[in-house]
Chain A
Amino acid sequence: DGGITQSPKYLFRKEGQNVTLSCEQNLNHDAMYWYRQDPGQGLRLIYYSQIVNDFQKGDIAEGYSVSREKKESFPLTVTSAQKNPTAFYLCAGGPQGGEASEQFFGPGTRLTVL
């Protein structure tokens, strides 16, 4: 998994609640990413960060928020504004850029809205 850990493995949310998914890495990756995967589909980028205290919106950022206060940590908050949050969430890390920048993924968190 390239040293990427995610918790919890399963998460249940009630309507109107905010929840936070944890992502930690121990390989000194500069860049970290959050993706969402829906059944039978590829991954879609939510947010990414290439340096501490800076992050950029991906393709589907609405209803999500992130922070990058430490290099090792990149938590994702799913807010009540996200209308269809049930999905599999994957965190990844890797070098900041360049042709040889390979991304490594964590084991994922499955979020279900009750």
Chain B
Amino acid sequence: KQEVTQIPAALSVPEGENLVLNCSFTDSAIYNLQWFRQDPGKGLTSLLLIQSSQREQTSGRLNASLDKSSGRSTLYIAASQPGDSATYLCAVSRSGSRLTFGEGTQLTVNP
């Protein structure tokens, strides 16, 4: 059974700092990995999708990497801003449809 773990559970940083969020998964036979952002009381916003054949994806200040062999992904956020404060969730897909989620990292960026 696939298990997804996110570390740390919570992170507080000053504005402008570069930061890394971690995601690990137990079964490396995945189709893809998605990173999501969730604001309090809201739905999920898809940030980046990395296909199993890819090693990284970039969107603006965000960069996500994938190392299937070690079962790890990182989300790098450059020059963090207070508006980046949210919960970040990673999820892996084994069959190409069903997602298994981690519990998320709650990020606070202080002005």
Give residues in A with beta carbon < 8 Å to B: 1-2, 4, 6, 31, 33, 35, 40-45, 48, 50, 58, 88, 90, 92, 94, 96-108, 110
Contacts and interface: CB of A to CB of B under 8 A. Distances in A.
Nearest to A45: B98
B96 A97 contact: yes
Nearest to A6: B43
Contact of B31 (A1, A44, A99, A104): A99
A54 to B, nearest CB: 13
A19 B104 CA distance: 29
B40 to A, nearest CB: 11
Given A98-B31, A99-B31, A105 B96 contact: no
Contacts of A1: 43, 45
B22 interface: no
B41 A110 contact: yes
A42 B103 CA distance: 4
Contacts of A100: 32, 49, 51
Nearest to A9: B41
Q: Lowest 9 A-B CB distances belong to which pairs?
A: A97-B96, A42-B101, A99-B51, A105-B44, A105-B43, A107-B43, A42-B103, A43-B101, A102-B49
A4 B42 CA distance: 13
A31 B45 CA distance: 18
Interface in B51-81: 51-53
A101 B46 contact: no
Residue of B32, B53, B91, B97 with most partner-chain A CB within 10 A: B97
Contacts of A103: 34, 46, 91, 99
